Structure 1
Amino acid sequence: MAVSTSTTSPLPLLLLHRGAANPSPASLSFPSSLRASSLRSRAAAAPPAETLSDDGIPAPPEGEGTGIPLPSSIGDDGEQLAPKQKIRIKLRSYWVPLIEDSCKKIIEAAKTTNAKTMGPVPLPTKRRVYCVLNSPHVHKDSRFHFEIRTHQRLIDIMYPTAQTIDSLMQLQLPAGVDVEVKL
């Protein structure tokens, strides 16, 4: 389907550009003159330009039926996907049964207050190996290796309420679990 373009279009083209220093695709940004709020006002004020295809049939407006969202709907979808408030809980322990029990208690406390939970997500286990000489004078080649493994879990609580925070504050977790909470 061919669409004719005019040079007097009320909406500027959205050009995504990469920063020269960071070539990753996650660093895409809009130019400062093309923010969603200014595009919404322009899109509401401008009448739809009707273009004809090769068959003489009017083409749908930009974004309609093509799967491309209009600029006015970009901000609306972002608010639905990312919650405005979430609690991120990171648990660390040397012993796996302790951390699993703690995760179950946290999830049960959040579920009773109708908060949505995501997790527990197992994060990579950190290994710290210590090498100790067996004998400091004679046997330099004989050594002991000691290892400490730190197991980690991540739990996100979406849309917490005051009751959710109160129930999390009243939980009695074991002493061998380190809890880090971020709002």
Structure 2
Amino acid sequence: MPTMRLAAGAAVSLLLLALCALLAGPSFELPGAAPDGGIGAGALPRFVVVAVAVLAVAVFVQQVMAARAGRAVHADDGADEADPRRVLGLGAGVLVLLAGYAYGWTVAGFLPATIAFILALGLLLVPAESRTPRGLLVIAATAVLFSLGVWGLFVHILAVPLR
């Protein structure tokens, strides 16, 4: 199993690095500084691309060093292995939600699409025993507050319009 985890870590790291390479060109073409000397629209995409690339390499190096030392990167504490059908189901569900989010953003705009996406993602990922009225209220409040926070950050602080 350690070899499988190392191979999965390598695949994820390569996928992230390829995505960073694909997005590096457009992100570095955006102006990084605003005319008034503040942060421009390109500063955040540049930071995200560089940060993801650095973290992808750092996590993979950590996994390699842990594999050489003969220890697991994340201790399981005796937990059972995940059911592959559940993992595939959740993975497919998240991909469908991401596709719906991308489409919903173009139709409804950033704020409604993001609230709906985070709400649906919370309902998908939260265990059944946590889907109480209070748990659902926490998921809904998190979706609304997080979406409003991100929207406010981009629109009012970074002056990047989110449509």
TM-score range with shorter-chain normalisation?
under 0.3
Using CA pairs under 8 Å that are at least 6 residues apart, name the structure with larger relative contact order, 1 or 2. Answer: 1
The structure in which a higher percent of residues are strand is: 1
Q: What's the TM-score, normalizing by structure 2?
A: 0.24
The structure in which a higher percent of residues are helix is: 2
